[in-house]
Chain A
């Protein structure tokens, strides 16, 4: 069958340009193209979806309970019953790695979302209104960016004590500054666009301009930034937990699992490697996906 028959062509365009113009690609065609150009990103997306499904249905997927200790089964080598062996308290490692995905993914998604929302709002305000507000927000961002992020998160954890909820707060507070800078510069260039000028001259109020005309144009950049910020949040959580100022035992967090298995590095390396490789896979997948999304959504960032 002829390809052209399949696809609906625009009758007006055809009248103007004759039948020589290429028919527009359908959505599925476009999707196929995008996927074939970014196979790695697509593969990563599938891996991420699988991990998310595992994390959500951990209760069904896992045979064991991640917190039930069984001292007679401690430090078992990998076997059919325990594919990744058991830890020093007889808990099944595979089960704990799967439950750990819950923590790492929530840490990766929620605090990143919160900090990006804060950053976006501040960036929009700074870029749109300019002047003193802009100056104040950007100097605050400068200050936040001057801190080594891990140390700042450690200070927040010192103040509030360890625990998952506090990691949420720490990571939400720490990482907004870079987003606000990016959004600000996007806003600055978008506010000079004709349609924003037009809206202003028609007397549309500022909030509507920001949310109708400017924010939607920032979304592609934000999606890319979001995907690429998830891995660093996951790494921060595991580092904090590894240093003992993050999640507290017996939580099945990957960073915590690595640190408690560190003693057995030389006798049973799988205990250390399993959670560490899990972190690596998730981080790599999000990095690949982010790179792919950037190529598709934001050719400008790609040039940079």
Chain B
């Protein structure tokens, strides 16, 4: 950027700059959000067949169909339907489910806490496992421990989520009987799903942590720290880790997207009534408003995650503040 004088300006200016950047990000995500709703809306409207017929079954009187279509606003032109949908969605109303005859927002908010709990537990698993494995691998670069950790990280990335789930179910629920096969209420029941969902992310976090630490270790300030006579542990703890963790922090927020994809499968295997289960149920019962609501809701979460990741990065790393 042309603002090369930035380092000479006072802190307040940088704060304002930071705030402006975050605001810009928020404003940029609004059209993305509208685009998301539009695409989902169009995709679900080109479904062959009349939604009311799908909802009520084949053998229903045409006048009844017409009446219900009118009640649901399906007789209006598509763009009108879209604007109605958007204006309702802004007020938090995603329509009424065809099958459950309940407000979609209510259904989603009932299911959401379960998904959040699963995702948080999984995130904790993946951060701890991923970061610890990454640090160990980086410290023992190229020896057997490194190979072992990085091998299992790649295995973690390469295993289908359902395979991990089924293998763990077989070993720990059936053979060893430590944890229940499914369920979500007790803490013990959450252990397997959290490991399953955290597994994939743990692999990518470990790989990224390792490569970042190795990269940071080449920097001048590490050489300075070592030259000062600091112990290797202290160099690692207070100089290398802090800097190496920056991209990892952003990556964690970016992983909300893949976590939500993984949650769809995990929830279905372990019978957790979360958002992913809702989406699959909506497809099975051909419940269009529910599917539309869940997908839009999850996508909003992803966009928020990206927003947080970007803002977090510029808050944590003053070097890139002015570059965004």
- Number of B interface residues at 8 Å Cβ cutoff, please give it: 45
Told that A279-B160, A284-B155 touch, could you supply 5 new A-B pairs with CB distance under 8 A? A149-B261, A239-B264, A242-B162, A255-B162, A258-B162
Encoded as 1 (CB less than 8 Å from any B CB) or 0, chain A from 139 to 177 comes to 110110011111110111111000000000000000000
- B46 at the A/B interface (Cβ < 8 Å)? yes
Select the stretch in A24-32, A64-72, A182-190, A265-273 that faces chain B: A265-273
Contact of B283 among A157, A238, A287 (CB under 8 A): A157
Q: Is the CB of B43 within 8 A of A155?
A: yes
Encoded as 1 (CB less than 8 Å from any A CB) or 0, chain B from 183 to 221 comes to 000000000000000000000000000000000000000
Q: Is the CB of B43 within 8 A of A148?
A: no
Q: Is the CB of A283 within 8 A of B158?
A: yes
Of chain B, the residue at the smallest CB distance from A150 is B261
A-B contact pairs, 24 of them (CB 8 A): A139-B32, A143-B39, A146-B32, A146-B257, A146-B303, A148-B298, A155-B291, A155-B295, A157-B283, A158-B283, A159-B44, A235-B160, A239-B162, A239-B261, A239-B264, A242-B160, A243-B265, A244-B280, A259-B162, A262-B166, A266-B174, A272-B170, A280-B159, A280-B160
Majority secondary structure, A binding face: helix
- B92 at the A/B interface (Cβ < 8 Å)? no
Alpha-carbon separation in the docked complex, A276 to B160 (Å):
7
Alpha-carbon separation in the docked complex, A293 to B104 (Å):
47
Of chain A, the residue at the smallest CB distance from B161 is A239
Of chain A, the residue at the smallest CB distance from B163 is A276
* Smallest beta-carbon distance B286→chain A, Å: 8
**Known A-B contacts A143-B39, A265-B170; A148 and B291 likewise in contact (beta carbons under 8 Å):** no
* Smallest beta-carbon distance B297→chain A, Å: 10
Q: Is the CB of B160 within 8 A of A238?
A: yes
Contact of B47 among A159, A235, A258 (CB under 8 A): A159
Contact of A243 among B155, B264, B298 (CB under 8 A): B264
- B260 at the A/B interface (Cβ < 8 Å)? yes
* Smallest beta-carbon distance A280→chain B, Å: 5
Q: Is the CB of B35 within 8 A of A143?
A: yes
Chain A residues whose CB sits within 8 angstroms of the CB of B291 once the complex forms: 154-155, 158
Alpha-carbon separation in the docked complex, A134 to B252 (Å):
29
The list of the 3 closest CB pairs from A to B, nearest first, reads A150-B261, A276-B163, A143-B35
Alpha-carbon separation in the docked complex, A272 to B164 (Å):
11
Of chain B, the residue at the smallest CB distance from A269 is B170
Chain B residues whose CB sits within 8 angstroms of the CB of A146 once the complex forms: 32-33, 36, 257, 299, 302-303, 306
**Known A-B contacts A276-B162, A284-B158; A147 and B35 likewise in contact (beta carbons under 8 Å):** no
Encoded as 1 (CB less than 8 Å from any A CB) or 0, chain B from 267 to 290 comes to 010000000000110011010000
Alpha-carbon separation in the docked complex, A231 to B157 (Å):
10
Chain A 227-244 residues near chain B, CB threshold 8 A: 231, 235, 238-239, 242-244
Q: Is the CB of B299 within 8 A of A279?
A: no
* Smallest beta-carbon distance A141→chain B, Å: 10
- A107 at the A/B interface (Cβ < 8 Å)? no
Q: Is the CB of A140 within 8 A of B280?
A: no
**Known A-B contacts A140-B35, A142-B32, A146-B299; A258 and B40 likewise in contact (beta carbons under 8 Å):** no
Chain A residues whose CB sits within 8 angstroms of the CB of B160 once the complex forms: 235, 238-239, 242, 255, 258, 276, 279-280, 283
Chain B residues whose CB sits within 8 angstroms of the CB of A276 once the complex forms: 160, 162-163, 166-167
- B126 at the A/B interface (Cβ < 8 Å)? no
Alpha-carbon separation in the docked complex, A255 to B163 (Å):
10
Alpha-carbon separation in the docked complex, A244 to B258 (Å):
20
Alpha-carbon separation in the docked complex, A266 to B159 (Å):
20
Q: Is the CB of A287 within 8 A of B43?
A: no
Q: Is the CB of B44 within 8 A of A151?
A: no
Contact of B154 among A142, A150, A266, A287 (CB under 8 A): A287
Contact of B268 among A140, A152, A157, A243 (CB under 8 A): A243
Encoded as 1 (CB less than 8 Å from any B CB) or 0, chain A from 269 to 297 comes to 10011001101100110011000000000
Chain A residues whose CB sits within 8 angstroms of the CB of B311 once the complex forms: none
- B314 at the A/B interface (Cβ < 8 Å)? no
Q: Is the CB of A148 within 8 A of B302?
A: yes
Chain A residues whose CB sits within 8 angstroms of the CB of B257 once the complex forms: 146, 148-149
Q: Is the CB of B158 within 8 A of A280?
A: yes
With a 10 A CB-CB cut-off, give which of A151, A238, A283, A287 has the most chain B CB atoms: A151
* Smallest beta-carbon distance A101→chain B, Å: 15
Encoded as 1 (CB less than 8 Å from any A CB) or 0, chain B from 283 to 320 comes to 11010000100110011001100100000000000000
Chain B residues whose CB sits within 8 angstroms of the CB of A284 once the complex forms: 154-155, 158
